[in-house]
Amino acid sequence: MNITQLLNDYNIQFFTEGYKFCRPGWINLDCPFCTGNPGPHLGYNLNSDYFNCWRCGGKSIEYTLQSLLKVNKQIVKEIIKQYQGVNYSQAPDPKIIIRKKAFKLPSNTDSLKISHKKYLEKRGFDSEKLEKQWNLLATGPISKLDNVDFKHRLIIPIFWDDKQVSFQSRDITDKSKLKYITCSKERELIFHKNILFGDQIHWKETGICVEGLFDVFRFGVNSFATFGIKYTPAQLKLMAKSFKRIPVCFDDDSQATEQANKLVADLRFRGVESWRIDIKGDPGAMSQEEADYLVKQLIK
């Protein structure tokens, strides 16, 4: 879609530089959904034709243009046609691409050591089970990748279609300023925000949507994670394609609750039966007994 012509014709200011949100291949404009947070957080991807706000997540083109232009749904559809928006509802399927740098794990990555197992057990997990089920790895006191320090971390491989395409790491000392570090985008075979984390082989009609990888560890193979509360159009498309029912279980803070409600609405719009699950605190902090009981109730 010729978004720049559309915005110019309707006198809507946009930016391609000058703000930290601006990146190559994107244009940015003020997000109509981020009340109380002024700034060009809303980005439009010029290659794949979709909106994403760096604060409040992915947006459909139709819904976003309704808010920006202050017109109804029918008029927006005509405007999109006028600006050649044939594929406005589409998001790209995840594809393996060749990066400038080859995918690889941090140096000195090995099997779980006693310290890593103790960390998992302290959080109420069965370390032996998780290591086997999710192919967990670990780093010791010396580990780097592209000058990034990965020492004393769990390495969690990210698979898609039976191929490892990325990884996420978690500091086990709780001393690092960055608890989580994900593989750099230039090394990922598939950008992790274009896929979902989980065990695809065991997915059924109902999939429990959670924020992070440790939430999936707690809920098991009937769940999947979006790598945070913000989700992309590509992830939304995969959810609607993979499941008929999606209960959403995010943390209980206000921002996470707002995003969960938004995701539920987006999924329902796409014909997926969806609802928000209210819990206290973090799903990953639940006892295994509580989590198993909840999962059993949700998928029966």
Mean pLDDT of the 276-296 span: 92
Q: So what's the pLDDT on residue 86?
A: 40
Give the ranges where the chain is alpha helix by DSSP (H). Answer: 3-9, 61-69, 73-82, 114-122, 127-134, 213-219, 233-242, 254-269, 288-299
Query: Could you tell me if 295 and 203 lie in one domain?
Result: yes
Q: Which of 64, 58, 37, 49 is nearest to 228 (CA)?
A: 58
pLDDT of residue 132: 95
Domain total in the chain: 3
Write the CATH number for 207: 3.40.1360.10
Q: What integer is the mean pLDDT of 257-279?
A: 92
What is the reported pLDDT for 295?
A: 95
What residues contact 182, with CB distance under 8 A and at least 6 apart? 166, 167, 168, 169, 192, 227
Q: What's the pLDDT at 57?
A: 76
Specify whether 128 is located in the same domain as 202: no
User: How would residue 156 be classed by pLDDT, with cut points 50, 70 and 90?
Assistant: very high
State the pTM of this model: 0.69
Locus of tokens 């995969």: 238
Q: Is the pLDDT of residue 238 over 90?
A: yes
pLDDT of residue 18 exceeding 80? no
Task: Provide the pLDDT for residue 36.
Answer: 65
Query: Do the domain assignments include residue 94?
Result: no
Cβ burial, residue 72 (10 Å; 0-12/13-18/19+): exposed
The residue that leads in pLDDT, 47 or 255, is 255
More confident residue, 252 or 1: 252
Look at residues 190, 208, 228 and tell me which one is the last residue of a structural domain: 190
Q: Is residue 32 part of a domain?
A: yes
Q: Is the pLDDT of residue 89 over 70?
A: no
Q: Which residues pair with 28 in a beta bridge?
A: 15, 43
User: What does the mean pLDDT of the chain come to?
Assistant: 88
Print the domain residue range for 146. 109-190
Instruction: Verify that 73 and 115 share a domain, yes or no.
Output: no
% of the chain beyond a pLDDT of 70: 92
Is pLDDT of 155 > 90? yes
Tokens 């990146």 sit on residue? 23
Mean of the pLDDT values across residues 148-160?
Answer: 97
d(CA 209, CA 195): 13
